[in-house]
Structure 1
Amino acid sequence: PVAYDPAPEARTTPPPGGPAGGGGGGPGVATAPAGNVVVHVTGAVTRPGVVTLAPGSRVTDAINAVGGASTDADTEQLNLARVLTDGEQIRVPRVGEVLPDPAPQASGAATPKASAAPGKPGDGGASGTININTASASDLEKLPGIGPSLAQRIVEYRDSHGPFATVDALTDVPGIGKAKLEGLREQATV
């Protein structure tokens, strides 16, 4: 089989060990001519993968190059008009999935730095904190003073209102007051 080739300006790279064999730019292997951008598109798309696009391509071009968004995609969280940069990852969320705020980056799309590692939802990294914008209800229960029903309320509030801008915004969730917030502040992050 040959790699999907949607257009001359957008090519996908076959998975390692594919028909290209030992590499070297043989048939089915995408090459990135000087100036092109190579991006990895994951999440709610038809055929996730790595694509090579022309300079100046946008997020929408990358999604289209992998066959488009799937029916359960929530593209409203992405800036589809943003110009791509070489080497980035674009994660297309599913309906109900909340991507972390990419504010520290100028990208407008989630990157590996902006999302939790697979299999570790809500993991805040070496500091041991829990990201309240990505944690599951069971992960939120690890915070002091947060039981199953309050954890579920946090998830429901986040799903209906969007990600929390700050840890202090948890006081908007019914059942979390200033005292409870102070008890969990050190272990929570956004």
Structure 2
Amino acid sequence: MSAPPDLARDAPPRPLIVTLRLGEPAAAQFSALRRAHFPAHRNWLDAHVTLFHALPGAAIDRVLADAAEVARSRSALTLRVERVLFLGAGVAYAPASPQADGLRAELARRWTDLLGRQDRAKRGPLHITVQNKVAPNVARALHAELVRHFEPTDISATGLEVWHYEDGPWRAAADYPFSGPGTG
């Protein structure tokens, strides 16, 4: 009689998510908005900008090596938060950044064979989600409030983060600060 399979060991590796880490004080400001408006039972992490949603977990060594190399070659990125987005069931801020777009394009070229449909598809604007998975009327009310007080601003991204997606929660895999030329 054989032993039962080890389901954890035999399961395919969890997908990987790659995000931009926000610099202070933006990280504190947007994370506070998440804590105030994101459903608490779904809010597992601080504010961030997702660059890739689902890279194969089996490619973790390659993803980590590339993320580390790219982060070492970059200094902090500037993002211009230009508007507040209504997401239907949530609200986000939309930062624009040619630097962030170039960084994502470089990683996408490296990972062409790893990209799933969502990460290959034409992407919408970069965004910092502060509310999600709520009733549309709740999202509309927050959107109206945030738009009323909104002023465009510049923020920074200070590194790349790699996460394991665990059917809801995310677990940190690595954090690579931007440490290239011009980094203080």
Q: TM-score normalized by structure 2?
A: 0.20
Q: TM-score normalized by structure 1?
A: 0.20
The structure that has the greater radius of gyration is 1
Greater relative contact order (Cα 8 A, min sep 6): structure 1 or 2?
Answer: 2
